[in-house]
């Protein structure tokens, strides 16, 4: 069958991705969106309930039984002509399959062998299962994502979804590491292993928080600091329609702009002792009082009514949009930040390139390209038919 040639800055780079869930497929999606020829090695029957088709877009798919000797030989043949391999299994699985780094790099010394795990390749937790929540908890990241209700209860961490661990700490840093290793391999002619652990990445993400703490800006208990909903000028507020408004007037000049616009359009007139006045802005003792006053004000109008007077300004105010609303927002629509990708409307690849633009390619069914890929490897029709008959490819 014919396929659309890859476009983007990674066109010409070939990556073999072994099927998994979560951060591995997300990393493969990014690489495919950037133009790499990603050959997805899918499992007969799929990789489980979180084997999400959207994350597998842009691949050429070949179904292989990795537990068979012939199936492993196919993977080694793929590795021989690849620039990189992405594998998502627990430590030791690839070695037991006979596809570990030593075997792969002996077959292709320039290969970048990228390993995506939760806990990494070593350490006491390495053999065990985990998820985004456990990795971010262990890394210290989750403890800083809380909201203090100031009612005497102990602030409890807010689950941030899969974004911090699986995506940012996992997939994005795996892609960064893989691309860095590819760049180095061009100069040295030698590949290497990239050990991308979500818990390492989640820990790395806390660097900014450590920097804030070192600067004295993260000294209070979680939920009471400038950037963790403690400050009344960096908070999310409920509006009259029970939708929400994000207020991030962090710097003094942006806070002054917020007050000026509210004075002009909402009649805000602050008394000398009002905790919202600029001179009281950083008095943490009065933050709960100021926040209560802001809450009362923002409940007097709908979210969109507030946005009409505050959004297009330096007040740093934005609507909290639902996933279904975001594509229709004027700014995102103007930038064409969403598009139809294989059926659903999804975000288009980021970042953007002036000379080698990337473009998402559609989702294909597992095994769609099995015969094509095997033919590229030099397998003739008789051999492909024998592999199919034995259930070693599909």
Q: How many CB atoms neighbour CB 204 within 10 A?
A: 14
CATH entry, 234-238+244-319, from 3.40.50.10280, 3.40.47.10, 3.30.1360.30, 3.30.1540.10 = 3.30.1540.10
Is 166 annotated in the active site? yes
Are 138 and 199 in contact by the 8 Å Cβ rule? The answer is yes
Regarding the domain delimited by 14-205+338-389, which CATH topology (the fold level of the hierarchy) does it fall under?
A: Rossmann fold (3.40.50)
What are the residue boundaries of the structural domains of the chain, listed by start?
14-205+338-389, 234-238+244-319
* Residue in 131, 150, 265, 280 annotated catalytic: 131
- Exposed / middle / buried, residue 336 (Cβ in 10 Å: 0-12, 13-18, 19+): exposed
| Residue 5 pLDDT | 62
Query: Do the domains 14-205+338-389 and 234-238+244-319 sit in the same CATH topology, yes or no?
Result: no
Are 25 and 52 in contact by the 8 Å Cβ rule? The answer is yes
The whole-angstrom separation of Cα 314 and Cα 256 is 9
- Please state, in angstroms and as integers, the Cα–Cα distance from residue 154 to each residue in 15, 182, 229, following that order: 47, 47, 15
Q: How many CB atoms neighbour CB 170 within 10 A?
A: 30
Phi-psi bin for 68: left (phi > 0), alpha (psi -120 to 50), beta? beta
Q: Please list the pLDDT of the chain residue by residue as tens digits (394 residues).
A: 445 566 899 999 999 999 998 999 999 999 999 999 999 999 887 777 777 888 888 999 999 999 999 999 999 999 999 999 999 999 999 999 999 999 999 999 999 999 999 999 999 999 999 999 999 999 999 988 888 777 878 778 888 778 899 999 999 999 999 999 999 999 999 999 999 999 999 999 999 999 999 998 888 888 889 998 899 999 999 999 999 999 999 999 999 999 999 999 999 999 999 999 999 999 999 999 999 999 999 999 999 999 999 999 999 999 999 999 999 999 999 999 999 876 688 899 999 999 999 888 888 889 999 999 999 999 999 999 999 999 999 9
* Residue in 166, 200, 228, 371 annotated catalytic: 166
* In the block, residue with structure tokens 């007050």: 259
Are 377 and 14 in contact by the 8 Å Cβ rule? The answer is no
Structure tokens at 357: 């633009």
Which secondary structure element, helix H or strand E, spans residue 163, and what is its range? Answer: none
């Amino acid at each position: 069958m014919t396929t659309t040639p890859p476009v983007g800055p990674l066109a010409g780079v070939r990556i073999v991705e072994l099927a998994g869930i979560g951060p591995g497929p997300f990393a493969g999606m990014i690489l495919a969106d950037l133009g790499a020829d990603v050959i997805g090695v899918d499992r007969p029957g799929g990789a489980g309930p979180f084997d999400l088709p959207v994350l597998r877009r842009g691949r050429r798919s070949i179904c292989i039984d990795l537990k068979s000797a012939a199936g492993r030989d196919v993977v080694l043949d793929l590795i021989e002509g690849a620039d990189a391999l992405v594998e998502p299994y627990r430590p030791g699985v690839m070695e037991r399959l006979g596809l570990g780094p030593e075997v792969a790099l002996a077959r292709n010394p320039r290969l970048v062998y990228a390993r995506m795990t939760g806990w990494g390749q070593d350490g006491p937790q390495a053999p065990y299962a985990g998820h985004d929540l456990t990795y971010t908890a262990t890394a210290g990241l989750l403890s800083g994502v809380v909201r203090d209700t100031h009612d005497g209860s102990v602030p409890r961490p807010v689950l941030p979804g899969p974004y911090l661990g699986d995506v940012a700490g996992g997939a994005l840093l795996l892609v960064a590491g893989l691309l860095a290793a590819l760049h180095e391999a061009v100069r040295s002619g030698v590949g290497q292993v990239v050990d991308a652990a979500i818990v390492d990445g989640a820990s790395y993400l806390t660097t900014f928080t450590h920097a804030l703490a070192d600067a004295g800006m993260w000294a209070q208990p979680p939920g009471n600091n400038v950037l963790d909903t403690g400050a009344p000028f960096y908070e999310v507020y409920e509006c009259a329609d029970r939708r929400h408004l994000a207020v991030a007037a962090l710097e003094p000049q942006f806070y002054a702009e917020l007050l000026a616009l509210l004075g002009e359009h909402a009649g805000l007139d602050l008394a000398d002792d009002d905790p919202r006045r600029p001179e009281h802005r950083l008095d943490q003792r009065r933050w709960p009082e100021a926040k209560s006053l802001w809450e009362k004000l923002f409940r007097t109008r709908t979210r969109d009514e507030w946005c009409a007077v505050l959004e297009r300004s330096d007040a740093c105010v934005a609507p909290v949009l639902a996933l279904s609303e975001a594509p229709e927002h004027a700014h995102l629509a103007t930038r064409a930040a969403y598009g139809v990708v294989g059926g659903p409307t999804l975000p288009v690849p980021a970042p953007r390139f002036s000379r080698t633009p990337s473009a998402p390619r559609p989702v294909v069914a597992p095994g769609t390209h099995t015969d094509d890929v095997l033919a590229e490897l030099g397998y003739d029709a008789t051999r492909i038919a024998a592999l199919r008959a034995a259930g070693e490819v599909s």
